[in-house]
Amino acid sequence: MYTLPSKLKITAIILMVVGLIGLVIGFLDAPDNVEEVKEMMAAQSHHGEEAEHDEATANMNEEGYIETAGRGIKGSDATQEVDHPVAGEGAHEADSEAHYEHLLHQLQTKPWSALFVSAFFFFMIALGALVFYAIQYAAQAGWSPVLFRVIEGITAYLLPGSIIVFLIVIFAGTHFFPWQNEELVAEDKILQLKSGYLNFPFFLIRAIIYVLGWNLYRFFARKYSDRQEEVAANDYRPYRKLFKASVGFLVFFIITESLMSWDWFMSMTPHWYSTLFAWYIFASLFVSAITVIAMVTVYLKKGGYIPFVNDSHLHDLAKFMFAFSIFWTYLWFGQFMLIWYANIPEEVTYFTMRIENYNLLFFGMLILNFVFPILLLMNSDYKRVPLFVLIAGTIILIGHYIDIFLLVMPSTVGPNWYFGLPEFGGLLFFLGLFIIVVGSGLGKLKLLPKNNPFLKESEHYHY
């Protein structure tokens, strides 16, 4: 039996407290009105020279175009703005006023986005682990049953994690989802067209279905896997039920995951669309989850809690980390290259924003998510060394945090991003929560699942 060491527990609590403080400060620091934004801007830039100001406004206009085309902030007809550039001093003033208004909105959104990035990052690890678990059952894998309890422990975070994410997307309102702004929709033909799908009641219902469905599977998976321990040997009825539930869950998941990605991420820029988007998010979710499974396995193995897990199991997990890092890159490239190649204005805005304002992060994550894993985990021997798995795992997790950061931030706060107190606070808070929930989740389980039909194969597994 595993118990979360008190030292780790206290560390996690400290992380949560510090993180919470960071988040609260982030929310308090956000400006309340346009005047405050102007003060903040004045404090930041001590110039005030007219020429520079003009240049800044010109840049803002360009940003405005990218924003408008992708996100639909100021109405649908983005090209109109470009065709009729601001003429005269009066229009200039009005435009800069609108810009401050826009800036205010982005700065108010910033703590929300920081909260969401971290909340979703840790939630998706639990969800991805659940998918991995279901796949292992559906595929009747012979190597992994000794890891089932470890995975079940990680998925303990699904319930709190999914509720938090659910509450954030429901209450974020126009901070994340411009299509929830009725005034905006009234003057935007494209958003009106989409309102059959993008409307709040339907959005809410869908979110409830996803969260409910995922948690139900996790509930029944735990139930059946416990029952399998209680029944007589060679009675595999609970196992068969779990097998069927897993197959059903996978079908449910592939559909709800697509809808979730469109709802919670793609509709942040409601004018933009990409058919691959949902699968791309899946790749990120899946590889992060496998990485965490591997890292938790290494941790428990080191503590001596799972003596039945050997380095062949670790080798397999590391292979999955390696393979799905490449798979993620494949989808990243597929989406990016096709949009870059065709260069259709309404699509390319998504990447223009990211390359212009997030250049280092955008291309840097490729090194973290692709180059490092491929080099570190190519060698078969390295995949059996816990230290290598931990190093590669840490890099992969940082890379995919950045990936989620890049899904959200450019769409919500635009160019006004920095990695500050709320972002850091969110990360620490959810890390602490994740450690506590997963730790106590593991504490409730017997780490060796008895009676699983493939358990013996798994215990004797050697590659």
Binding site for other proteins (CB under 8 A): 139-140, 142, 190, 193-194, 197, 236, 251, 254-255, 258, 262, 273-279, 326, 330-331, 334-335, 337-339, 341-342, 344, 346, 453-454, 456-457, 460-463
The least distance separating other proteins from the CB of residue 273, rounded to whole angstroms, comes to 5
Q: How far apart, in whole angstroms, are the C-alpha atoms of residue 444 and residue 187? A: 54
Largest CA distance in the chain: 85
Q: How far apart, in whole angstroms, are the C-alpha atoms of residue 57 and residue 25? A: 30
The least distance separating other proteins from the CB of residue 108, rounded to whole angstroms, comes to 28
* Closer of 204 and 337 to other proteins (Cβ): 337
Return the axis-axis angle of helices 386-412 and 88-138, rounded to nearest 10°: 140
The least distance separating other proteins from the CB of residue 64, rounded to whole angstroms, comes to 21
Half-sphere exposure of 437 (CA within 13 A, CB side): 21
* Closer of 335 and 411 to other proteins (Cβ): 335
How are the residues of the chain apportioned to helix, strand and coil, as percentages rounded to the nearest 5? 80, 0, 20
Report yes or no: 402 and 332 within 8 Å, Cβ to Cβ: no
The least distance separating other proteins from the CB of residue 205, rounded to whole angstroms, comes to 17
The least distance separating other proteins from the CB of residue 194, rounded to whole angstroms, comes to 6
* Closer of 56 and 326 to other proteins (Cβ): 326
The 8-class DSSP code of residue 367 comes to I
Report yes or no: 458 and 49 within 8 Å, Cβ to Cβ: no
* Closer of 142 and 415 to other proteins (Cβ): 142
Return the axis-axis angle of helices 345-357 and 50-71, rounded to nearest 10°: 130
Six token digits for residue 94: 């009005």
| Integer-rounded Cα radius of gyration of the chain | 24
The least distance separating other proteins from the CB of residue 218, rounded to whole angstroms, comes to 22
CA 5 to chain centre: 28
* Closer of 119 and 281 to other proteins (Cβ): 281
* Closer of 96 and 258 to other proteins (Cβ): 258
Six token digits for residue 65: 């175009």
Report yes or no: 136 and 452 within 8 Å, Cβ to Cβ: no
Q: Give Cβ neighbours of residue 390 (< 8 Å, ≥ 6 apart).
A: 295, 298
The least distance separating other proteins from the CB of residue 156, rounded to whole angstroms, comes to 28
* Closer of 342 and 360 to other proteins (Cβ): 342
* Closer of 89 and 381 to other proteins (Cβ): 381
* Closer of 17 and 255 to other proteins (Cβ): 255
The least distance separating other proteins from the CB of residue 110, rounded to whole angstroms, comes to 28
The least distance separating other proteins from the CB of residue 331, rounded to whole angstroms, comes to 7
Q: How far apart, in whole angstroms, are the C-alpha atoms of residue 350 and residue 271? A: 10
Q: Taken in order 294, 431, 408, 56, is the CA torsion positive or negative?
A: negative
State the amino acid at position 406 in one-letter form.
L
Instruction: Tell which residue, 30, 37, 40, 171, has the closest CA to residue 109.
Output: 30
